[in-house]
Amino acid sequence: MSDLLARHRAVMPNWLALYYNEPIEIVGGKGNRVVDASGKTYLDFFAGILTNMIGYDVPEVREAVERQLATGVVHTSTVYLLRGQVELAEKIARLSGIEDAKVFFTNSGTEANETALLLATYARRSDQVLAMRQSYHGRSFGAVGVTGNRAWKNNSLSPLNVHFLHGADRHLAQFRGMSDADYIAACVEDLRHVLATAAGGDVAALIAEPIQGVGGFTMAPDGLFAAYKEVLDAEGILFISDEVQTGWGRTGSAFFGIQDHGVTPDMMTFAKGLGNGFAVGGVVARGELMDALHATGLATFGGNPVSMAAANATLDYVLDHDLQANAARTGALIIDGLREAAPRLPIVGDVRGKGLMFAVELVDPATGAPAPALAARFMEESRKAGLLVGKGGLYGNVLRMAPPLTLTAEEAAEGLGIVVAALETVAAEVAAP
């Protein structure tokens, strides 16, 4: 492994992050577990950054891909009819709840967000966009511009004129202790003030994650985006919901994260879990917005026949097995267990989440300050115990976890036990003289 790591460092960029002091190579997987090159097995609570949505080596997905490969057609491009693309678009349009919806497929969430921003700025003839503080929307030029997290921004240059809003930052002193209703009212007042002061004329859109992924699974209280949308609608401003991490029933309480706010957006972007590891992203939007562009367009790899086969099989599996309900059940087991353990763990500043999308925020027990070093220490301890988790948050101190939606109750209990035990170990080390 040290040889592979040395080779990686010689040819890959320094900013390409690797987890763990001794990074692992995953060489096998089955169900909700993976195996590294040394033969060690792990229960996977991060799923390739929420991408292996229904686990590993799923027969339905594998067989669908093999059937497509057997035709000899791996690629044609969107200049030809693609049956799998049309079938998947029909399903997504129906599930979205968006009126007269149309779908455009891309390769990733970053590209999906770029497309949505293009549609919005074209429709509104404006480069002004609203986004949320602590947000993350991808690594391309435009997507970085609407990302509100300095750790993921290499410069301040942007093709867009962006204004950032409150909504997922209740830890700030001016909001701490507020009720949901009071916080929503304060955020809406801030939105009105931004429109009256910082924005110059028409604004194209608000882009927002219902639950912030890289932001450490921070989220607006349910109803905030409905309150925002009243203001947006009055101004003609479009609303883009970034569902790259919250889509397909992951939150348990809704099939798309924005639905918890009682809102149907003008557009939704998606990616990650839809292909269960195969590259697919896209935008579902009102037909009039999607059709409005005057220039010719295509996607060389978007809607790729192999990816479409995987995505159709994955989405069918999610629906046929009611994995949204499973996410609600197993997620509640874990979140309730974490909240029960938190009071005796002074390093835990917060436990939050919905369904199979949950996080633990680690703090210095003496000061309450974010403790990224403790998060790094936890990562090593949980890995040693056979559990893979993720890390994020504005300050790098949040353990974020999103197991496959196929997680069983037994696996949920197993993972919860490892997380709590690892937190106990780290807390004991901090308390030791």
Domain CATH number, residue 204:
3.40.640.10
Number of domain units in the chain: 2
Q: What is the pLDDT of residue 433?
A: 76
373-379 — which CB contacts under 8 Å span 24+ positions? 374/347, 374/426, 374/430, 375/399, 377/426, 377/429, 378/422, 378/423, 378/426, 379/19, 379/20
What whole-number distance in Å separates Cα of residue 433 and Cα of residue 429?
9
Listed residues 266, 285, 320: the one ending a domain = 320
Residue 224: per-residue pLDDT: 98
- DSSP character string of 169-200: -TTSTTTTT--HHHHHHHHHHHHHHHHHHT--
The 10s digit of each residue's pLDDT in 52-71 is 999 999 999 999 999 999 99
- pLDDT attached to residue 156: 87
Q: Quickly tell me which residue has 């994260």 as its tokens.
A: 257
Residue 197's pLDDT band, with cuts at 50, 70 and 90, is: very high
State the pairing for strand pair 267-270/238-242.
parallel
Q: How confident is the model at residue 144 (pLDDT cuts 50, 70, 90)?
A: very high
Q: Report the candidate in 155, 136, 129 with the shortest Cα–Cα distance to residue 271.
A: 136
- pLDDT category of residue 204 using cuts at 50, 70 and 90: very high
Based on the fold, state whether residues 135 and 282 are members of the same structural domain: yes
26 and 156 part of one domain = no
Query: Are residues 188 and 79 located together in one domain of the fold?
Result: yes
Q: How far apart are CA 66 and CA 70, in angstroms?
A: 6
List beta partners, residue 350: 361
pLDDT for position 1: 63
The reply to whether 83 and 227 lie within a common domain is yes
Rounded to the nearest integer, the mean pLDDT of the chain is 97
Longest Cα–Cα distance in the chain: 69
Q: Which of 320, 345, 372 is the last residue of a domain?
A: 320
Q: Are residues 104 and 147 in the same domain?
A: yes
How do residues 161-189 score in pLDDT, each as one tens digit?
999 999 999 999 999 999 999 999 999 99
Domain hosting residue 6, numbered range: 2-57+322-431
- 94 and 40 within one domain: no
pLDDT of residue 155: 86
Residues 303 and 326 in one domain: no
Whether residue 201 has pLDDT greater than 90: no
In CATH, what number is assigned to the domain containing residue 340? 3.90.1150.10
- pLDDT tens by residue, 33-48: 999 999 999 999 999 9
Residue 381 CA from chain centroid, whole number: 25
Considering the domain architecture, whether residues 24 and 67 belong to the same structural domain is answered as: no
User: Do residue 233 and residue 329 come from a single domain?
Assistant: no
Weakest mean pLDDT among 93-97, 196-200, 216-220, 332-336:
196-200
Q: What's the angle, vertex CA 332, arms to CA 329 and CA 335, rounded to 5? A: 155
Q: In the chain, what percentage of residues exceed pLDDT 90?
A: 97
77 CB-contact burial (10 Å; exposed 0-12 / middle 13-18 / buried 19+): middle
> Over 80: is that where the pLDDT of 217 sits?
yes
Q: What is the pTM of this model?
A: 0.97
CB atoms within 10 A of CB 220: 27
Specify the 3-state DSSP secondary structure of 359.
strand
Q: Looking at the structure, tell me whether residues 275 and 224 fall in a common domain.
A: yes
Which of 285, 320, 355 marks a domain boundary?
320
DSSP 220: P
Each residue of 80-114: pLDDT tens digit? 999 999 999 999 999 999 999 999 999 999 999 99
Both 260 and 194 in one domain: the answer is yes
Looking at residue 2, what is its pLDDT?
79
